[in-house]
Amino acid sequence: MKTSKIVLGLVFGLALTAQTNAQGLLDGFTPKKGDLSVTASYTSSNYEKFYAGKTKMDAVPAHNEIDQNIYSLYAKYGITNKLSVVLNAPYISAEGNGVADPFNGTTKQDGFQDISVGLKYNAYTFDFDKLNLDVITGLSVDIPTGYEANGILSLGNNTFSTNLTAGLHLQNNDGLFATFLNSYQFKGDADNTAGGADFDVPNAYYATTKIGYASSFIYVEGWLDYLASTDGVDISDATFGGNFPETKVEYTRLGATIYKNIIPELGASVGVSSVIDGRNIGKSTNFSVGLTYNLNI
């Protein structure tokens, strides 16, 4: 079964907020050898409601409301017909609309977040009469860029992460597909720029489900993400101590993406997503646009 080239360059979710990792670095579609796609995207994110532990607050502490602008560059290349490499580099600008952050004294932070690099391998394909089932495996790393990790506006945890992924991708001859991926994220310690002991960042489990339609005319998907830290403390706990990288983060996020070719080599995409439940995280809504260029080298 041929996978339509329209999906080869589709960015993995365009880009997401600093607090919630970009929607899974890896997807279910496998590019052919020599196929390269590069996506530039922009995401506007906003939230004023905030989960302190599992309690939803009507305003973000100190900042009241937070706006984020995320610019992302994503690339995918087929090393072989089964093995591909992916790269993502998001630049994030976050600004609060209230008083200064009580932990680092800022009202705005910007810079590159974690640079992510991954390998995805299509381990085996089951060929059935009218559909294919691919067994997907992957290994990726998130490389921090040295930003301030401890604060409400922080771009991320500023920690090195190694992520193992496995899952299934099912697609029929009519273009309908479903993807199920599960990852475990092994996280290292984060530097404490205040001079104390390094932060012990919790490991995390991540899962994503995508259902959609892919053809040479259009690509449409709906998706559901879930992430949960394996341990950590709640912001509302007496033991919190202001150590944001050590919090127990959990969220469920729902989204949709549409992609359409403009010309064979160039396509445009739009996306929307929202956190529908969470723990120690902002209840954000995100709107994204992107341009993807496809070529074979």
What is the rounded distance in angstroms from the CA atom of residue 249 to the CA atom of residue 39? 28
- The pLDDT-based confidence of 133 (bands split at 50, 70, 90) is very high
Q: Please tell me the least confidently modeled range out of 1-5, 43-47, 245-249.
A: 1-5
- Cβ contacts of residue 238 below 8 Å, gap of 6+? none
For the segment 145-169, the average pLDDT, to the nearest whole number, is 92
| pLDDT higher than 50, residue 225 | yes
What is the rounded distance in angstroms from the CA atom of residue 119 to the CA atom of residue 87? 9
Tell me the backbone φ, ψ of residue 130, rounded to 5 degrees.
Answer: -125, 15
- The pLDDT-based confidence of 21 (bands split at 50, 70, 90) is very low
For the segment 114-140, the average pLDDT, to the nearest whole number, is 96
Interval 71-105: pLDDT, tens:
999 999 999 999 999 999 999 999 998 888 777 78
For the segment 230-257, the average pLDDT, to the nearest whole number, is 93
Interval 176-220: pLDDT, tens:
999 999 999 999 999 887 777 899 999 999 999 999 999 988 999
Contact of 283 with 47, CB cutoff 8 Å: yes
| pLDDT higher than 60, residue 146 | yes
Residue 1: its pLDDT value, please?
Answer: 53
Full-model pTM: 0.90
Q: Please tell me the least confidently modeled range out of 126-135, 164-173, 192-201, 226-235.
A: 192-201
Task: Write down all domains in the chain, each with its CATH number in brackets.
Answer: 5-296 (2.40.160.40)
The label of the residue with tokens 């560059």 reads: 73
Percent of the chain with pLDDT over 90: 73
DSSP 123-186: EEEEE-SSEEEEEEEEEEEEE------SSTT-SS----EEEEEEEEEEEETTSEEEEEEEEEEE
